[in-house]
Structure 1
Amino acid sequence: MIRSALIARVAERNPHLYAKDVEAVVNVILNTMAEALARGDRVELRDFGAFSTNEMHSRTARNPKTQAIVDVAAKRTIAFKPGKAMRARLNREQVGPEE
């Protein structure tokens, strides 16, 4: 699903809201999540999952085409771990209330 489809679906399910207001809310939520991840914070959405960042250290690698040795700079990547309810939904399992 792309951002415009998400905005359309939320606007469709909430006819009392204007589409431009829904777009503003979706943009604020996604931008806030992106800013938190850029700071290195963890973003958790209950029953959906958690986003976090991982540090990739610098290393020496080899170009598979030319076999030349290449230095790869350190970088951060995003990791997603689905929540229990999301995993169950993906695997078509029944989800009951948490005990």
Structure 2
Amino acid sequence: MAESAAFEAACAALEQSGALDRLAARGTIRLALKQAGLEPRTATARELRVVAGRLLPAELAARGVAEPDAVCAAIAKALEGVESTPASETPDAVFARLGGG
């Protein structure tokens, strides 16, 4: 399953901050997305910026990350240049394209 470019960028930014390793960074962002009712494969840059601002700081603090707000700000900045589209079409988008709604 392919994740969205925004998810990949957010994970890379969290890993580059030095706060968490690759596996922990991906898992932490997945948990924050799940709390928001989002999936890594369809999350857009806009949605991830909201998650980084509202849910991710608490997740990072729970994992002992120093200065979680600064880390989340770096993630949001990394997401600025990412195209805000999911990796694959959602069912709604497919039906709309096919003329079903």
- TM-score bin (small chain): 0.3 to 0.5
If the length of structure 1 is used for normalisation, what is the TM-score? 0.33
If the length of structure 2 is used for normalisation, what is the TM-score? 0.32
Larger-gyration structure (1/2): 1
Give 1 or 2: higher strand fraction: 1
Give 1 or 2: higher helix fraction: 2
